[in-house]
Structure 1
Amino acid sequence: MKTNWKSPDIIIGKEATGKFYYRRKVFENEVWKEIEKGNNVLIAAPRRVGKTSVMKYMTENPKESYKLIFRNVQGIDDEKRFYKTIYELIIFCLSKFKKSKTLIQNYFTKMRISEITTSGIKIETKDIDYLGEINSLIPQLDQD
């Protein structure tokens, strides 16, 4: 018996955004519930099911009083690079808020941060304990 195999329709490319995004309202609401509780959210699912698309949609359409930044850290396979990325994201987020200006200025001088752009942070010192810096920065966030 001969069977003809038919290839499935697979879309390969970047994440679905804009009019190509398929809303997953129930899932989005569950993520927002956890965020509003102050919880971290880890999304784990097989490839190509829409994890990045959901996160990008939520970033582009945040709830009132929320400011979201999306960075995909999946490809980071080095501990130091991971903590550096997290540290840079914290500094980048803080630089967006006027109330954190003094805290950021103190870190600029201490860490020799010479430039912050949308693509990253330029740090002149190379031997930084990023995990230690994150751990000293987090308690200060609660105070401010």
Structure 2
Amino acid sequence: MQTRPFPPAPHGRSPAGAEVRLLVDGMTGGMIHSTVPPGQVNRATVHATVSEFWFVLSGEGQIWRRDDGGEETTVLTTGVSIDIPVGTAFQYRCNGAAPLEFICISMPPWPGSHEATIIAGPWEPNAPEGWPPA
């Protein structure tokens, strides 16, 4: 069993560029809190083995997703949930006045920065360089 307080500072950045706070992790998956500052456009990526579920806590943004079935851009606002199945290309950005904050659950657990391949997306990224997650 795990019980952890909300981390006071980010642990680093995702390969895409979002600030991340590690919340809990286990044998079947992990959960992080992500923050994207206003105006930030993260790098487009695709994951080799990990699927994700997101739940937007606050802010406004957009996410572009592409898979073999097509592509779409979804508005991210408080209360919206999305999935990113393994092999789905995606890119996201904060286009509101406040930071975009969301919970991300990964399944299986995040294996490390080699999981994410940076690709071309629909928007020009301006995010700071990522940190190699463990």
More helix by share: 1
More strand by share: 2
- The structure with more radius of gyration: 1
TM-score, length-scaled by structure 2: 0.26
> Higher relative contact order at CA 8 Å, sep ≥6: structure 1 or structure 2?
2
TM-score, length-scaled by structure 1: 0.25
